[in-house]
Structure 1
Amino acid sequence: MTVSSSADFTRNASPYLYGPEAAAVARVLESGQYGHTRVTEDFEQRVAAYLGVPEAVAVSSGTAALHTALLAAGVRPGDEVIVPSMTFCATVQAVLVVGATPRFVDVDPATLCVTDQLVRRAVTGATRAVVPVLFGGRPVDLSPVQGELADRGIAVIEDAAHAFGSLTGTRPVGATGNLTCFSFGPIKNLTCGQGGMVIPRTAEEADTIRRIRLLGITQSQATRANTTTYGVAGFGLRYQLSGINAAIGLAQLDHFDTTKRTRRRLWRRYRDALAPLDDVTLIDVGIEQAVPHLCQVRVPHRDQVFAELRDQGIGVGVHYPPNHLQPAFAAWRRPLPASEQAGAEILSLPFHQHLTEQDIDHVAVTLGRALNTVGAASCASC
């Protein structure tokens, strides 16, 4: 397992391995076949079975999942894609790489997620897709606007990078009929070391995504080995998930029920430990349905509190600076007051499976002290 903290520093995030991952990788290495292999296909089938969907297509990262999903949905240059500003920049970069225009939308201040009302107000005649971000693992229910979007030919592509294992109602995220993209990066709820997955809506979309991830080639690697040629049917990239990474994911799936229980227990411990702090607002992940990826709070004087906590050995972070304020995306800037206020207040507390409940209590106590210290200094300077 990865060491998550030292005696004087608590990390913000850290991968968690159960042990069998190393042996699973060793078996792939011993096979001499490291690329997209039967192990990758086994991982796809296991994820599909876990979610209760017909197909799942593995790719090399969550960003690759978003890119291929946008292409499979028919998003092209000149189209608009509605995307919340409160997300990792990868969501926006995937929109740009297909030549589309991001139309930034605001979020619910309590959840940092888009709502059906916000999406409805953002739709224009150029809208081709909506990318709700399941922030921190919280499901996003766009069912009130789903029919209207479908009637206008607008695809819903869920950025579920934070939300593997979460539920929308009684159904797993990924099984609600939308194109869904997962990330299996190092610190995600389920890790492959690096990787991603697309849950397609149709068999045709699955075929398109598989072709794109293999440079547009229509034959499998096994088939190509027995022929003197192969066909390139269209645009493609090298987005395959290696058997090495898939082996890690398969081992992680064996323990995912434990992952769910642990992450929910730790988040609830934070909720209880932070409750006495008047100046702290916990971002609501919908813990009864979410497998949380983050534990975030809103605090006054965020930048000063951030610095004070880091000085005290608490590895806090900010997820994320609003994208519409980033220099690279300035051409599409528009007023988004809830995102801008959240961007100035949010703080991500240490959250990973190496933490103990005592660690969480220590973080909460240290946060309370930091707020008092910063508040006193602010008052002294008035």
Structure 2
Amino acid sequence: MTAHDPHSVGRNAKPFLHGPEYAAVTEALRIGQWGHNTATDAFETELADFLGVPDVVAVSSCTAALHLSLLLAGVGPGHEVIVPSQTFCATIQAILMSGAEPRFIDINADTLCVDSAAVLAAITPQTRAVMPVLYGGRPISLADIHATLDRRGIAVIEDAAHAFGSRLDSRKVGATGELTCFSFGPIKALTCGEGGALIPRTADEADRARTLRLLGVPQSQAARIRTTSYAVDTQGWRYHLSAVHAAIGRVQLARFATVETTRRNLWRTYVQQLAGIDRVALVDVDVERSVPFNCVVRIPVGRDRVFENLRDKGIGVGVHYPPNHLQPAFARWSRPLPVTETTARQVMSLPFHPDMTEDDVAHVVSMLARAVTSSRADGDR
């Protein structure tokens, strides 16, 4: 038996801290301006430098980033947004927050992401945006259909919640010219505790996003405290990223190379360990271009029994995600999606986070092999 850490293998994902975050948060608290301040501005500048983009707008969550991006793209009531069902429900909730409706499409069985053919087939006169989800950190491109989308006035808004640090060709995700949204939630490769960011396409979009994230007030906090009044130009939301969360993010960003390398090495260890296990197929990712977010395997028969067995043994497996077109809240937009529905019955996420060791991986894979064998003995075929 390997010398695994029960606490490590018992978590499907967990936050990873480098250490200096504690001092950074303490300093942010000491300064006293805990809302949006110069720390948030500095984080935005550093993110823009890292990604190779002109501007970044930091917000309170990826959901907020998606919502604002939809508004920047002119999406609203009477419009449809093409979106995969295979995603976290936040993606769909952001569409509904804009007043638009989701038009669910199927995924590619190999990548668990959408492809251009599925997008083209789903376009209707009401389509105003397509929202590809970069599942597991996989960079994807709809460049081959951009001419068609542009001609019809359809924006591309990338849900890159899983994909911070991944690359498409020589460019980082976020620098591809699309409206792109990141998550800096607790278990992401880069975390602020909670937070997110959107990459605007133009300077005007950046200005509008900053107004919308601060309750429709175009003046910065620094400008407001120097005057007796301020203007509220439009409806807005309290979507800014706090200085406390930005302080965490700045430490994380400065040390991102460590997490990037660790996640890629962890993925390679799983690839080696999973090789040859009967009835288990790894959902592949191009680890040279991607910063892997999770490790997903496909178990064609008996997935639920294997899942329960591993959970009973203290292994933190998960399912990402139950299809949204089958959720009660989204039932009115449901349509047959055979690949998504089959995939949802087969996929399972193994524990995957930077604190894991090779011994932890070996233990998880050993328990997985036993669970698959046990499932077969119990009659799953």
TM-score, structure 2 normalization:
0.97
SS class of match (2:12): coil
Aligned position for 2:334 = 333
C-alpha displacement of 1:90: 0.2
1:340-359 matches, within 5 Å, as 340-359=341-360
Q: Distance in 2 between matches of 1:102 and 1:227?
A: 43
1:232 offset after TM fit, Å? 0.8
* 1:278 CA drift (Å): 2.1
Shift of residue 212, structure 1, vs aligned partner: 0.6
User: Compared with structure 1, are the counterparts of its residues 24 and 7 closer, same or farther at alpha carbon in structure 2 (3 Å cutoff)?
Assistant: closer
1:259 is matched with which residue?
Answer: 259
How far is 1:5 from its partner?
Answer: 5.6
What whole-Å deviation, never above 9, does each CA across 1:129-152 have from its counterpart, x for those lacking one?
000000000011111111211111
Taking a change above 3 Å as real, the CA distance of residues 357 and 225 of structure 1, as seen in their structure-2 partners, is same
Q: Shift in Å at residue 227 of structure 1?
A: 1.1
Q: Identify unmatched segments of 5+ residues in structure 1.
A: none
8 Å contact kept, 1:8–1:313: no
Distance 2:170 2:285 in 1: 16
Partner of 1:77: 77
Q: Aligned with 2:102: secondary structure?
A: strand
Residue identity opposite 1:363 in structure 2: V
1:227 partnered with 2:232: no
Q: 1:201: Cα distance to partner?
A: 0.3
Residues 9 and 139 of structure 1: CA distance in aligned 2, closer, same or farther (over 3 Å):
closer
* RMSD after superposition: 1.3
Partner secondary structure for residue 325 of structure 2: helix
Matched, 1:173 2:173: yes
For the residues of structure 2 that align with 1:293 and 1:108, how far apart are their CA atoms?
A: 18
User: Which residues in structure 2 correspond to 1:173-192 (within 5 Å)?
Assistant: 173-192=173-192
Kept after mapping to 2: 8 A contact 1:309/1:316: yes
1:28-39 paired onto structure 2 within 5 Å: 28-39=28-39
Partner of 1:15: 15
1:149 aligns with 2:154: no
Aligned 8 A contact 2:10 2:315 in 1? yes
Following the alignment from structure 1 to structure 2, what is the Cα–Cα distance between the partners of residues 274 and 9? 16
Q: Report 1:188-337 matches (<5 A).
A: 188-299=188-299, 300-337=301-338
Query: How many pairs are equivalent?
Result: 377
Residue in structure 2 matched with residue 160 of structure 1 by the alignment: 160
1:52-102: CA deviation from partner (whole Å, max 9, x where unpaired): 100000000010010011011110101000000000000000000111010
Deviation at 1:10, TM superposition (A): 2.1
User: Structure 2 vs 1, CA of residues 367 and 61 (structure 1 numbering), >3 Å: closer, same or farther?
Assistant: same
Amino acid at match of 1:334: R
Q: TM-score, normalised by structure 1?
A: 0.97
Q: Is the 8 A contact 1:218 1:232 kept in 2?
A: yes
- Partner residue, 2:123: 123
* Aligned partner of residue 104 in structure 1, secondary structure: strand
SS in 1 for 2:174: coil
8 Å Cα contact 1:5-1:11 kept in structure 2 = no
Q: CA shift at 1:258, angstroms?
A: 1.0
Rounded to whole Å, the distance in 2 between the matches of 1:274 and 1:37 is 47
Query: What SS does the aligned partner of 2:258 have?
Result: helix
Equivalent-residue separation in structure 1 for 2:379 and 2:329 (angstroms) = 33
For 1:60 and 1:310, the matched residues in 2 are separated by 32
Aligned residue in 2 for 1:66: 66
